[in-house]
Amino acid sequence: MSMPQPPRPDASHLRHRRPVQPLFFPDCEPEDERVPEGKRHLELRTFLYQVLKRTFAEQHGIGCDQFVYWNARDPLRRCAPDVFVKLGRADDLFPSWKTWERGTPELVVEIEGEASGKRLPWPERLERFYELGAREVVRFDPEAASASRLRVWDRLEDDLVERLVEGDATPCVTLGLWWVVGEVEGIPAGLRLARDREGTDVLLSPSERLAQLEERAPVAR
């Protein structure tokens, strides 16, 4: 059970030596600057978000393509991971994520591929995740060859270093699970979480869980 968050200090009623100069941190891109998203990318990121939300929403904060800000002086220093997780903070309907208010997400996930909706090249996105302070950065490319689709970076001694991944499975250190590649919503190669390296015990999405229950339900005679 998560502990309630303490109230934020409020100094608005105090006197100050100059007028406030507010900064604006947008919740989304302007309409004319938004990048289209391919349907496969939408399916894969939404699936992973739903799995995480169903499993961990009472314990951890779960984001999906919201802006994450880590520099309280610069609204342009931001990223929008396909999925991110903040441990120890129950999920809620946040419009964007400011680390100075909510803490730094430990896990970020990016899904690549045709029409993924990403504008920045991968090295620049990785640099932002480094600057953000994420502890585990996952990059999944469903179009890459088998055994090279899954790449992971770990923060060790304040360095973000790429992990050696063997095959299509590697530990999810943040959640104590395994990243595996498997079928998702009819898509042959999707990113999944499992309790074992072989992927025989995967975490289910709400629709998968419902289908499982219907399959097990006794047939009316």
Angle at 98 between CA 45 and CA 137, to 5 degrees: 45
The confidence score (pLDDT) of residue 5 equals: 64
Please check whether residue 179 is in contact with residue 171, taking contact to mean a CB–CB distance below 8 angstroms. Answer: yes
Instruction: Out of 3.30.1120, 3.30.450, 1.10.10, 3.90.1570, select the CATH number for domain 31-216.
Output: 3.90.1570
DSSP 31: G
Strands 68-69 and 78-79: antiparallel
Indicate if the pLDDT at residue 1 is higher than 60.
no
Q: Which amino acid is at 82?
A: D
When mean pLDDT is compared across 26-30, 64-68, 142-146, 177-181, the lowest value belongs to 26-30
How far is the C-alpha of 96 from the C-alpha of 17, rounded, in Å? 30
Domain ranges for the chain, please list them: 31-216
Q: How far does Cα 61 stand from its chain's mean position?
A: 10
**Could you tell me the two tokens for 73?**
């002086």
Indicate if the pLDDT at residue 221 is higher than 90.
no
What confidence tens digit (pLDDT) does each residue in 114-161 have? 767 777 899 999 999 999 999 999 999 999 999 999 999 999 999 999
DSSP 96: S
**Helix extents (H) in 88-185:** 99-102, 122-132
Distance separating the N- and C-terminal Cα atoms of the chain: 43
Residue listed under structure tokens 């100094």: 11
The model carries a pTM of 0.88
The confidence score (pLDDT) of residue 216 equals: 82
